[in-house]
Structure 1
Amino acid sequence: MEILQATMNELEELTVLFDEYRQFYGIESDVSSAKAFLQLRMALKESIIFVVVENGNTIGFAQLYPTFSSIALQRAYILNDIYVKEDARGLGVGKALMEKVFQYCEQQYARYVTLQTATDNVHARKLYENLNMKQDQYCNYVKYFS
């Protein structure tokens, strides 16, 4: 298993996984829009994407968005997306991706990395807790626009 920072060279395989990830959350498949979204994020350097490659196949990815902590006066990251192909789950891929994310954030002198997951996503929550992530004390509010 190898974890790489994605470049345009990985875009095709990454797009397939990204589309599967979106379907996992109930969104209808739209490969062309998924590809355009990823391509733009990468071209504008608006996200950092790590891919897991095993035996020439891309089996997982994580996407980080940079932000800042005004209180700490430091960079921070939002781990917005993490996905492992169904047949690769339970093999340590998610843990390896998370450790790569932590390593990257530390190298960038980030104050923190944050993520959200569904309350019923018990497998992911267990992974995050086993990696010493903690639920914060903040109450998040969201206003959706279209």
Structure 2
Amino acid sequence: MPPAIRPLQVADLPAVAQLFDQYRQFYQQAPNIEAALRFMTERFERQESLVLVAQAPTGQLVGFCQMYPSFCSVEAAPIYTLYDLFVSPLAREVGTGRQLMQAAQARAAADGMVRMDLTTARTNLKAQSLYTSLGWGRDDVFLTFNRRVVGPERL
């Protein structure tokens, strides 16, 4: 039976923080469950992001995606930036990531967003394959730049 996709609830915060910590470790960050819980709790309490969770029939959370509302100045319209997508290794290869992505797209449409953006590591070929299979196009026109303005001790 596939997992149910639903919005994050306050009672989910400890479990989603565990998944978020694993997500960060995937991107070479040191484990820090306290910081992961603090970060996810702050986003939830301040309503700064939209988090969808995948809940297995057992009740266990097995994945999540987090989107941040933003705007596209060029289109003069609201967008979501899908910043985080993670599925527990035990729940991979059964369509959980696909379900989360489809639910995120449906929610973006319902919320009146004109577009969704995301970035992923160049080496994350499985994720790129999923995105392409769902109709996402790779941006070959614009380059992304970033610059650190505070030290890594923040999280």
TM range (shorter): over 0.9
Q: Which TM-score applies when normalising by structure 1? A: 0.97
List alignment gaps of at least 5 residues for structure 2: none
Aligned residue number for residue 111 of structure 2? 108
How far does residue 7 in structure 1 lie from its aligned partner after superposition?
A: 1.8
The corresponding residue for 1:29 is 31
Residues 61-90 of structure 1 deviation map (CA, whole Å, 9 limit, x = unaligned): 000011011222211011000000011110
Question: Which residue, out of 58, 62, 67, partners 1:64?
Answer: 67
1:131 equivalent in structure 2 = 134
Aligned to 1:143: 147
Q: Whole-Å Cα distance in 1 between the matches of residues 46 and 118 of structure 2? A: 22
Spell out the pairing of 1:88-107 with structure 2 (5 A cutoff).
Answer: 88-107=91-110
Partner of 2:76: 73
Tell me which amino acid in the other structure corresponds to 1:112: R
Which secondary structure state, in structure 1, belongs to the residue aligned with residue 41 of structure 2? helix
- Taking the aligned partners of 1:12 and 1:115, their CA distance within structure 2 comes to 25
Alignment partner, residue 15 of structure 1: 17
TM normalised by structure 2 equals 0.91
1:46 paired residue number: 48
Distance 1:94 1:33 in 2: 24
The number of aligned residues is 146
- Dislocated runs of 4+, deviation >2 Å: none
Matched position secondary structure for 1:116: coil
Q: CA deviation at 1:13?
A: 0.7
What is the CA–CA distance in structure 2 between the aligned matches of 1:108 and 1:79, rounded to whole Å? 14
